[in-house]
Structure 1
Amino acid sequence: MIMSKRVFDLFFSLLGVAILLPLFFFIAIWIKLDSPGTIFFRQVRIGRFGREFKIYKFRTMIQSAEKIGKQITIANDKRITRSGRFLRKYKLDELPQLFNVIKGEMSLVGPRPEVPKYVALYTSEQRRVLEVLPGITDLASMKFHNESELLKDMNNSEHFYINEIMPRKLELNMEYITRFSLVFDLVIILKTLKRVFAT
């Protein structure tokens, strides 16, 4: 089953990169014209079996944004660039993670990978989500598609994320693990695309 999932991931991620390559170039040019800095944003995340890897995204914030703010992002975050707001709205900033999938660090579908500081807070039961490859999309991504809006009005957004949102996400991740099948993966991908296009 693991091999079947790997073949599924590799086929569709390579196909996706081939089809979306012109869009990648357009986004790269837009980012460079919009604000000084790199095209891609790389951040350490925790993957399968607790291994660290660097996740790829199109940069949507000012350069070195993590040095002047938190690792979570709220809807009205002043660090977000003009192009970044558009890319985030339609989840286009996540597209470079197809390269993480090709490298075998991620899957198309699986628990979204967290940064080390939040994974350190997981209980032993919650760490079960680290038994599978993290993914570009999952049940939690759909449930909390408006996460930045939820955090916007909180006095302590990080406290709310850690104590309210993160536990619920982990519950959905556990549900995914128990229900896993390639058909279920395909259903999640289609539902994710439907939500993005409906935004």
Structure 2
Amino acid sequence: MPQNAGSGAAEPSRDCPLCPRLHDFIAAWRLKEPEWHNAPVPSFLPPEGRESVRLLIVGLAPGLRGANRTGRPFTGDFAGDLLYRTLKNFGFTRGEFEARPDDSLELVGTAITNAVRCVPPENKPVGAEISTCRRFLVPTIESFPRLEAIVTLGSIAHQSTVRALGHRVAALPFVHGAVHETSGPTLFPSYHCSRYNTNTGRLTEEMFVAVFARVAEHLRR
């Protein structure tokens, strides 16, 4: 299990059977790559624990050769390179990110999770899987007593987070760079930091950094 993995009701079991398609997909990859993590990927937490978390980042789902392989969110693929570089620039990490779960990287006042904890085929979870996995996203959010900001990466993660907070998606729509005040944590939606989005120009590094600049300013206030 990766360093600082979460526990309790906020985390599915290693052999979670709730989404048969995802369960079977992981089972097939356990046969192909028995040394990989190949299980639901737990939330990545700071060493100081859940009580220290003021910022939560919610991604879509583990990448097949990224978090599904390494067992730590955004570790092992391009998206993690951009995310952790940006977090370091704003003081949300310490140590060095080396794209493996036993590197020296630690989060600072920050936690990272996914709306869907298991890797989906072609990186595309279906609606039922997103809804089912919300039973873990809700207690994850509730487990952070000092949470002030949530960055949602992509429309699916954003919509699932909005629903997990008990709000209507229409009232808090996904718009990159928006700032949505709620009765709880403030939401900062961003395009996902995937290689596809950066290669096509939908998301530039400057656009991504600007989101976290707003987050840092919000937390300073």
For normalisation by structure 1, the TM-score amounts to 0.37
Larger helix fraction of residues: 1
For normalisation by structure 2, the TM-score amounts to 0.35
